[in-house]
Structure 1
């Protein structure tokens, strides 16, 4: 929580201002989640402070919400291209993505409980921010996979991004959008085994027997549209 709050302050996310009469002041809440490594082991605990946008009014408090989301076909195309011409692939994660864009609307939120500025306990937060060398960036909200025509160019882009945004360098590419990746200079293997196993566990189907066709191909419909029962005369 402290890391998240400090990032908000560092990015100049809000200004503390006196509460205006009649202004719509949003409440905020903390969201918590676990982040995992590719092998399923715990990576870290993550906390995020968000405004309760359900009380916003369209065209008054907000206009539109947008996050860059890459298409799966684009992901596979870039992977294939990088593998074919032997380009390095790297992975980054942008911290506090939504804080890196300017906010055109005037939005106020209450100070978070436990983080109230003792100098201005009754103030509210007014939000401020929401050639031959080729580089491809695949962006899915705050997850980035990038590849470039040379390792030197790749590192240059990474350093440039680090200079602009607070980011986590995840190193060599191995996991993206629940897709686990194993690759060498001439081949790449993609699998979603961990996602499939978690889905089976969530639906209590880990001990079910596998089958080629997940439907009964032997049952026949009777004249009333209901399945015939074997043994009926």
Structure 2
């Protein structure tokens, strides 16, 4: 190791080895005849706080799981993680109910999982013990193994069930504890565990019980989770989400730190196509040195977590990932300039509302893809004054009328409404009234109620008429809203009449 911080990395590797070795994760043995040991390695990462300062140096011993044989070294690999919409919904409920938020990090999550298969691994570099033929027989799971996340999730699930928690069906990475008086909601992302409850004492007890099962680090009040900064003002019953540091790091990574902010995610009048790929050797060479896929991936994460205003643009730019050209890259840089101008913007969840009622909007741009003729559809769901769930993407097939495109978009929004209704019910916030779905197309609303406009809709599969059943059963009520007219390009703009920047939805069509 080189560098002024090498002693910190050495301490991190020694701490990691001591923890893993002390957890009886492996035993040193001779490799049995006919067996093959998979490789091992080190992964190093600096973990940052929400303001960009260093929290700690992190080193992990990992198995080179890419050499594992399916059916022999592993079978099941699935492990759930919460949807971003689930996290935002829980935070909105926390604002409404004035809940306390607490974060806990499991220090060594995967090595706590039980391993069911017989696996041997080479000893990690720098910590070899015994003769040259000595290997590690893994007794427990380890980072890098194909089944590691699955085994850890099983172990954590068993511990939480023992503590009295119940896993909800709408999102298998969320648990709830309720005894009629105290309620605790626990979203889990691998080893990052968050507790939300009105009772601080109940959270304290849950954290204490969890620490008896696993080695945990109590991080205190939730300030930073999965790259998202979280602020809570209990006096105003307000929770805010932002990715200020993520945007700064992204701009620095792509050499855009000194760019000038622009007002729109995409330049007005921009129309891109797959035919705009590199046209000559100079453009091919230029694009080979452009991190197009990486930049779009970073922007996609930003759009998924806290920036619905760029969802349409990111989805649009992702269409050209297979063969991007200079014009596509110019559009990416324009979007990065827009992100520079939204550094201080936040998603707000205002808890000063009367109920947990939410509102949904859907829209479609008929045939706007010049390459395929498909329509782009989008929806957004809001609760407590902030966006909970949103999407903007091409529809899976070509629609032959505006009515059809708008109706298909409404079906996708209706599915989100049903999911929101289900998960709120499991959180013990039952929704009994019909939920509004705002659509800007009268024909689509008509079709969602009755089998009209047969000539426009007769080619649709029967599954798409699920929305009509939901409307007739009084679960969803479509409403006409004239503000949405052409495109699902969802923007956010800051209010100018308040001291702190707040985002409210408006539709630029």
TM normalised by structure 1 equals: 0.88
- SS of residue paired to 1:105: strand
State the alpha-carbon separation in 2 of the partners of residues 144 and 36 from structure 1.
17
Distance 1:19 1:188, change over 3 A: same
Tell me the residue number matched to 2:249: 198
Q: 2:188 aligns with which of 139, 161, 165?
A: 139
Tell me the residue number matched to 1:159: 208
> C-alpha offsets along residues 141-190 of structure 1, whole Å, 9 cap, x if unaligned?
11111112411110000001111111111111111111111112111111
State the alpha-carbon separation in 1 of the partners of residues 79 and 217 from structure 2.
19
In the TM superposition, what is the alpha-carbon distance from 1:33 to its structure 2 partner?
Answer: 0.7
Q: 1:174 aligns with which of 197, 213, 223?
A: 223
State the alpha-carbon separation in 2 of the partners of residues 197 and 172 from structure 1.
24
- Is 1:113 the counterpart of 2:125? The answer is yes
State the alpha-carbon separation in 1 of the partners of residues 65 and 86 from structure 2.
31
In the TM superposition, what is the alpha-carbon distance from 1:76 to its structure 2 partner?
Answer: 1.1
State the alpha-carbon separation in 1 of the partners of residues 48 and 40 from structure 2.
26
Tell me the residue number matched to 1:59: 71
- SS of residue paired to 1:106: strand
> C-alpha offsets along residues 23-74 of structure 1, whole Å, 9 cap, x if unaligned?
0201100111101111101111110000111111111111233444111111
Tell me the residue number matched to 2:16: 4
- SS of residue paired to 2:126: coil
State the alpha-carbon separation in 2 of the partners of residues 215 and 187 from structure 1.
31
Which moved further from structure 2: 212-221 or 37-46?
A: 212-221
Q: 2:82 aligns with which of 60, 70, 76?
A: 70
| Runs of at least 5 residues in structure 1 that lack an aligned partner in the other structure | 228-233
State the alpha-carbon separation in 1 of the partners of residues 100 and 271 from structure 2.
55
State the alpha-carbon separation in 1 of the partners of residues 197 and 249 from structure 2.
34
TM normalised by structure 2 equals: 0.42
State the alpha-carbon separation in 1 of the partners of residues 90 and 119 from structure 2.
39
The structure carrying a bigger helix percent of its residues is: 2
Q: 1:89 aligns with which of 69, 81, 101?
A: 101
State the alpha-carbon separation in 1 of the partners of residues 203 and 268 from structure 2.
53
Distance 1:71 1:220, change over 3 A: closer
- SS of residue paired to 2:114: coil
- SS of residue paired to 2:74: coil
In the TM superposition, what is the alpha-carbon distance from 1:138 to its structure 2 partner?
Answer: 1.2
| Runs of at least 5 residues in structure 2 that lack an aligned partner in the other structure | 1-12, 142-178, 277-326, 328-509
State the alpha-carbon separation in 1 of the partners of residues 102 and 266 from structure 2.
42
